[in-house]
Amino acid sequence: MKRYILFNPLSGRGKSEEDSELLAKYYGGEAELLDITGIEDYSAFFSELKEEDTVIICGGDGTLNRFVNNTEGIDIRCRIFYHACGTGNDFLHDISDGEAGDPIDVTKYLIGLPTVKVKGKTYRFLNNVGFGIDGYCCEVGDRLKTESDKPVNYTAIAIKGLLFHYKPTGATVTIDGVTYRYENVWLAPTMKGRFYGGGMMPTPEQDRKSADGELSVMLMFCKSKIKTLAVFPSIFKGEHVKHEKMVAVHKGKSIKVVFDRPAAVQIDGETVLDVTEYEAFAGEATETDATVRNGYDTALI
């Protein structure tokens, strides 16, 4: 058996590369360290691996998102492990206690993922699709990263956006053929997991392990900036859903959100600009608590 450690040098402000080097030293000669951004042909890469080999991905939510999209349709016969080295680590938070430690077997979580169609392209996603001020925060954050090496404070961006820069818009939402209309929409994320944005919990009842595989979409809508700002912090504990006059949650397998004006969309933290609508589809429901792929158990390596 051989271990392949794939790290993203851009993830976690260099933490990914540092952690991957420590893992490589720990595993000694049995581990091969590779820059994931340098893999141009995943099909060729996995064709050389044996079933008993393991791949460890070191990075954040965005790294995992790019991995599942770059490997779509490829027959991966070995197990995939994940070592969280990002800044938000919402996926890790959702499947564990949130504390980064030993690599976790995520093979079962990468099967039957939902998809989202944005501007004519289809992407798989692990955690969420964010539309509204969350997409705006990623847009601003991406720009700040090009201007400075300092950590990006997304909470500060959100607060400034609520008060000054971001303007809410009307939205039409269709869930499994049933259409709803909302005005003054600030947020409209569709969730596979519970967390996004570094710990926010827009749909606290969402369960990525549910047998029906349904997704949840949350709408936060309010004309008043001050009232929205007052309620917004409660999203970190999932208590915002108590404000039924300005928060709505729907569940379904097909979710389409159309904004009255273009806005940024973020898919597991990856930004797409000038979007007027997205359509998300639940993946095939899988028994995620059962052993999957090649009969291996899910014990830590």
CATH number at residue 101: 3.40.50.10330
Contacts (Cβ under 8 Å, ≥6 apart) of 7: 16, 17, 19, 20, 33, 34, 35, 36, 58, 59, 85
Residues 6+ apart with CB under 8 A from 47: none
- Please name the residues in contact with 224: beta carbons below 8 A apart, sequence gap of 6 or more: none
Instruction: Give the total number of structural domains in the chain.
Output: 2
pTM for the complete prediction? 0.88
- Long-range contacts of the stretch 146-152 (C-beta < 8 A, 24+): 149/13, 151/13, 151/87, 152/87
35 found inside a domain? yes
Residues 258 and 277: beta-carbon distance below 8 Å: yes
Domain limit, last residue, from 64, 91, 110? 110
Please indicate, yes or no, whether residues 92 and 204 belong to a single structural domain of this protein.
Answer: no
CA atoms within 13 A on the CB side of 73: 5
The CATH number of whichever domain residue 246 belongs to comes to 2.60.200.40
In a domain, 175, yes or no: yes
- Reference 266, options 139, 174, 84; nearest CA is 139
Instruction: Provide the domain limits for residue 49.
Output: 3-110
Q: Are residues 150 and 217 in the same domain?
A: yes
Q: Looking at the structure, do residues 40 and 181 belong to the same domain, yes or no?
A: no
Reading the block at residue 158, the tokens are 């959100």
Residuewise pLDDT in 10s, the chain (301 residues): 889 999 988 887 667 778 888 888 888 777 898 999 999 999 999 999 999 999 999 988 989 999 999 999 999 999 999 999 877 789 999 998 656 678 999 999 999 999 999 999 999 999 999 999 989 998 998 898 888 878 778 888 888 998 899 999 999 999 999 999 999 999 999 999 999 988 899 999 999 988 889 999 999 999 999 999 999 999 999 999 999 999 999 999 999 999 999 999 999 988 999 999 999 999 875 544 333 333 333 333 3
Nearest to 139 by CA among 229, 15, 265: 265
